[in-house]
Structure 1
C-alpha cells in the first residue's frame, strides 16, 4: 500500500507484482467507477487472479475516492487522466499499459487511448461509455439526480430497506463526495472526443444484456472493436459475474501482449456473440 504524488493530489495505489517476476510481463491498470466505488472492487475480483497469471497489477483510488485526496474542485475527465499519467510517472512505468475500466473507469480508459495512445497497449470497458458529447448528457443527468436525492436521510433509509446496509453505507459515502466537491458539476463539463475513431488502441467492451449501455454494441462492432454481452445481466457485471469477466479480460490482455500490442484495431477486435450466464 502506497500514497504517491500524482500532480496536484496524492493517490492511494496498490501493486500486485506478476507471479514469477517476469520483467517483460504485461501491465494492467485497473480503474474503478464514480462515487460508490474504489480499488477494492478489483482487489476482490480481478486483481489477484491477474497477478497469479503473470500480469503486473496496478490498482488505485481515483481522486475524491477511497484513500486518495479529495480536493474540493478539479473533477473533469482530463483531471482524472492527468492523475493516471502522473501515477505512471511516479511509478517509473515505461511499458505501455492495458487499462481496464469499470463504468466511469472505462470512460477514463477511452480518453487515455485517444489522448495518450503512446501509453496504452489496449483498453477494456466494463459497462462503460466513451467520452462523447452524448456521454456528457447522460452523466449530467445521473449525477444531478444523485446529488439531489442522496442528501435526504429518507432516501438512504429506503436504500437500506431495499438494498441492504452495505449499499446504504456506500450511498452515504457517495453523498459526502457530491456535497463536499464540485464533481457533479465538473464531470459533465469535461473534454470529449469527436467520435469513436479517435480511440486509437484495441478495445474490448463488456456489457450486460439488460443494461441500457448495451445499445452501443452495434456501433462499437461497426468500428471494429470487440464486444461481449453477458446474458441476464444488468450494470454490475464486475461484481456479479467476476469469473466470466476475469476469463474474458485476462484472455484479451494476454492475447494482445503476445501479439506485441501493436495490432490495428480492426485486426484485434472481431465481432463476438453474447455469452450466456
Structure 2
C-alpha cells in the first residue's frame, strides 16, 4: 500500500505486480490493468476481494486505488467533477511512472471515469471495461444527479440506516453511513453531475470497449446504442443479475476481463510498428 501525491491531494494505491498473487511472471512486458471503483459505498477493497489478485496471478500488473473522497485517499470539501477524477488518475499514473497504455476496468461510476479517461487521454488507454456503467453523456448526468439527490435526502436519517441494516446487514449499513457523511461534508452531489461530458454520439471513445451488465439492472438497455455507435464494442448481459455484478459474479467477471485484456494485449504486442490497434 502507498499514498501517491496527485496534485494537491494524495491518493491511496495498491499495486499487485504480475505474478505477485501466486501466479507466474509472463515473458515480455505484461499488460497493466487499472481498476476503478464506484461512488460512495465503494473503495479499492471491492477489487482486492474480487478481481485484483486473480489478474495479478494471471500475469498482469494490477493497480487498485481509492477515488478522491473514498477509502484512504484524501477527502477534500470540494472538487468532485468528473474531470477531477480523471485528472487524479492521470497524475496517479505519472506518479507511478507508468507509461504503458493501460487497460481500464471500471465498476459503476468507475466505468464512467474510465470512459472519460479514454476519451480525453486516448494515447494512454489500451481498452476500457465498464461493469454496470454508463459513459459520461447527457443522459448519464441526469441519472447520476437524481441518484445522488435521493441518497443525500435518505442517508441522513437513522431510520434509513436501520432499514439497510435490517435488510442488507451491518456492513452495508456502515458503508451507507459513510456515504451519508461524504454527501453531507462535500460538494460531491452537486459536482459530479455538473462535470465535463463527452459527445452523445460517443465519437470520442475510440478504444475497444467491453460492457458488462446485469440483465435486471436496467442499464443493459444501452446495449443496442453502444453496439451501434462504437467501432469495437463487446457487450455481455448476465441474466438474473442486478447492479452488483462485480460482487455477485466475480468469477464470471474475472474471466471476461482476462479474455478481453489478453486478446487486446496480444494485438498490441504483435502489431507492426506504427500500426493503430
| Length-normalised TM-score, structure 1 | 0.93
Q: 2:239 aligns with which of 221, 231, 235?
A: 231
C-alpha distance 215-62 of structure 1, shift in aligned 2 (>3 A): same
- Residue-by-residue CA offset, 1:111-164 (whole Å, 9 max, x unaligned): 011100001000000000000011110000000000010001111011111111
2:18 paired residue number: 18
Q: 2:42 aligns with which of 19, 22, 37?
A: 37
* 1:253 aligns to 2:261 (yes or no): yes
Q: 2:69 aligns with which of 64, 67, 73?
A: 64
1:3 paired residue number: 3
Q: 1:183 aligns with which of 177, 183, 188?
A: 188
C-alpha distance 211-262 of structure 1, shift in aligned 2 (>3 A): farther
| Matched length | 265
C-alpha distance 245-174 of structure 1, shift in aligned 2 (>3 A): same
- Residue-by-residue CA offset, 1:56-107 (whole Å, 9 max, x unaligned): 0000000000000000000000000000000000000000000000000000
- Residue-by-residue CA offset, 1:169-216 (whole Å, 9 max, x unaligned): 110010111111000000010100112121111100000000111100
* 1:141 aligns to 2:141 (yes or no): no
1:274 paired residue number: none
Give the deviation of 1:50 after TM superposition.
Answer: 0.4
Q: Which runs of 5+ in 2 are unaligned?
A: 20-24
1:46 paired residue number: 51
C-alpha distance 108-135 of structure 1, shift in aligned 2 (>3 A): same
Q: 2:205 aligns with which of 199, 202, 211?
A: 199
Q: 2:217 aligns with which of 211, 214, 225?
A: 211
Give the deviation of 1:31 after TM superposition.
Answer: 0.1
Distance 1:190 1:262 in 2: 38
Q: Which runs of 4+ in 1 moved over 3 A?
A: none
Give the deviation of 1:21 after TM superposition.
Answer: 6.7
* 1:170 aligns to 2:175 (yes or no): yes
Distance 1:75 1:23 in 2: 38
C-alpha distance 80-23 of structure 1, shift in aligned 2 (>3 A): farther
Distance 1:49 1:159 in 2: 31
2:226 paired residue number: 220
Give the deviation of 1:262 after TM superposition.
Answer: 9.9
1:100 paired residue number: 105
Distance 1:261 1:99 in 2: 18
Q: 1:73 aligns with which of 78, 87, 92?
A: 78
1:131 paired residue number: 136
Q: Which segment is superposed worse, 40-49 or 253-262? A: 253-262
